[in-house]
Structure 1
Amino acid sequence: MGATASSFYYSSLPPSPPSKCSVWETMSATRLFTVPDYSKWALMRPGSALLFDHALHLLGYSYDVKVYPAGYVKAKDEAVCPAGYSKEADFVAVFAEPTTHRYYSKDMEASRISMEILDGSGERTVFDNHTVTSRQNGKLNTGYVWFVKRRELEASGCLRGDSFTIRCTVSADVQITRSSAEVMEALTAAASDPSKTQLTGSHMLTIDRFSKIKAVLRTGDCVHSTQFSLGGSNWYFKVYPNGSGRYGDRTSCGMSVFLGRGRSDEPATTAEFRFEIGDQKEVRSTKHTFRHHDPEHEFPYLQYFAGKTIADGRLVVRCHVRVIKAETPN
């Protein structure tokens, strides 16, 4: 009997994906709040709260938002530590709390709350969770006792008609069923997001009445730029008209500039950057890896104006950034 030849064919095509699959997606709810009569609230006793009742709703839970324009101080803190009382009163505080503790669950604990203070247009972020000096988190609330210094809030162009805008977002990851076509469409859209694919760009901050702002701010006080997206990260920079008081840059005639990366859940990112300050075109670039944890999410870029006075009027600061590497989260 003759031998029978067998033939084997290997297809280069991947197996067909299932028509349905279970994926994790982020659900969120966002709301804007206007804090009116800021100058009146700022003069009130620290601990005076502006309450936005049942302001946020997600997955059956609701949250109150409380804003303390004159600072968050408990009565017992005032009695025990008067020095701390005055320091807290320099800051605007923001808290988000569930409406009742009876409905506490692991789902609520897993939820995330972000808070932002927007610029005068009410559109672009200036301050957020990652620019705060100190925070206070618990299972049932998220609070920022030192969310922003009032002097910096006033100098950074956030006030419009004696009011400012806060944007609060509550989010949580939920598992849902999607068709394969929907999953592929979402992945394609994410891959083509300009904020992730664009690696080089610049951003500008204009400070009007610079000499007056310099006279009001102290060493360690700064003017924040609005945030901008590049290479999958959010960025901002800060101008300290009287020096930051850090890294030995405290001078009577100098100022310092810091580049920072916002959004605490972003991966470590290496970037090369330089500044143009006024009519000085700085050609030297600096490279730094920005990480989640202080102090590595900000980097100082010092610029001195020894023996030179900046005339009253408009100071324009431009930052050029090139993202070199953004780490991929595991």
Structure 2
Amino acid sequence: MLYAVFILAAIVVVGGAIYLNQFGDVISKKSSLNGAMVGTFLIAGATSLPELTTSITAVYIDNPDIAVGNMLGSNVFNLLILAIVDIIYRRRRLFQNVNHQGNIPSALIGLVFLGIIIASLIIPESVNIFGVGLEMFIIVALYFITVKFITKGDSDELEDTSSNDLSLNKAVVGFIISAIVVFVAGSLLSISGDQLAVATGMNASFVGSFLIAASTSLPEFVTVLAAFKLANYNMAIGSILGSNLFNIQLLALTDALYRKGPILSAVDSSHVFIAILGFVMTIVMIYLLIRPAKSMSQLRYTTPSFLIAVLYLVVSYVLF
């Protein structure tokens, strides 16, 4: 029964998140809030809402392992999505057909964030301010500095390429309804995942980092596939790297809501392996972005993506 509830909640979360993304896209293009920054935050918030609701519920039921594992695991799974898509569509040479300079800054700051989190997980006692880890304040400050740096000089207007005839009012109503659905289903996903860990004896960090994280990251998978269908490779990579940065900010929010001290000090030590996995995968991703575009065999081209997939499978097996 627990498995059925978990799977049903995951399906509803994915469906709701897909509609959130669609309605959010319409709102960003048809309202006065159509600046590049607002559109980016709106879509990022829409696709990341499943992670947020799931982690908030995990905090409420006092399971910080699922809360942290969900965020870190989602980031790792997002990078796995890019690797899998790159392997499947290897003939298109994804990483040789993108604006490398536009995506490298996001990957680098993501690497810095993970480095800070790894250090915080390794250090036994974290310095805290009002019960929130000092590392979270640093991460949030760096995020806003980075966003200002990356978007400096960008146009405030987004090109309206949407062929969606949905009105703005209907999009707003649909967005709100979808958000409520995702909130309820995401909460159920956390609760059932917590009970599943207890009933089966599985490690709560494994449940959060892999089972729940994979479920809440499926909307990003759909987004990447849609971008590939449009041959918009920059959108495919940018949406994943941007979502990862946004997820880390949600982790800071989760820490603020967890009132028993810094949340990274309250979780199982196994989370450091997920963070290190994300760190290594991000390094490989940066290599793919800086690797010069030149003629090479398909095997040589896809080797880094295969490495990401293998690392993910090995770490998940070890933690399981």
User: TM-score over 0.5 for the alignment?
Assistant: no
**Which structure shows the bigger proportion of residues in helix conformation?**
2
Q: TM-score, normalised by structure 1?
A: 0.19
The structure with the larger Rg is 1
Q: TM-score, normalised by structure 2?
A: 0.19
